[in-house]
């Protein structure tokens, strides 16, 4: 769906998995603390089509979310560009 948000998990072995999900209807003012709580666990967990998928953080190189969640936590650098 065009209005869906996307999350791409880039794994340390070079593979990736892209998931789509409905965009939140409104901004999440607690997003910063939710991200911090997420990083305290050993697994990144996602509910997908009625099942739960657990991804060990040790196997994840980085996670890319598009569009960026709103609002972003205050400690994030904004407006960056990837350069080769």
The 10s digit of each residue's pLDDT in 28-42 is: 666 667 777 777 889
Whether the CB-CB separation of 28 and 5 falls below 8 Å is answered with no
Alpha-carbon distance of 38 to 33, in angstroms, equals: 9
Whether the CB-CB separation of 19 and 7 falls below 8 Å is answered with yes
What integer pLDDT is reported at residue 29 of this predicted model? 67
Whether the CB-CB separation of 78 and 72 falls below 8 Å is answered with yes
What integer pLDDT is reported at residue 10 of this predicted model? 98
Q: What domains appear along the chain, each with residue ranges and CATH number?
A: 4-66 (2.30.30)
Give the single-character DSSP code of 57: G
pLDDT-derived band at 9 (thresholds 50, 70, 90) equals very high
Alpha-carbon distance of 46 to 80, in angstroms, equals: 27
pLDDT digits (tens, 9 = 90+) for 29-80: 666 677 777 778 899 999 999 999 999 999 999 999 888 877 777 888 888 9
What integer pLDDT is reported at residue 2 of this predicted model? 54
């Amino acid at each position: 769906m065009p209005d869906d948000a996307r999350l791409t998990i880039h794994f340390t072995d070079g593979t990736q998995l892209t998931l789509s999900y409905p965009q939140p209807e409104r901004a999440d003012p607690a997003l910063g603390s939710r991200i911090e709580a997420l990083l305290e666990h050993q697994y990144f967990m996602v509910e997908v089509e009625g099942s739960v998928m657990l991804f060990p953080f040790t196997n994840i190189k980085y996670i890319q979310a598009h569009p960026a969640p709103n609002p972003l936590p205050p400690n994030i650098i904004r407006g960056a560009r990837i350069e080769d």
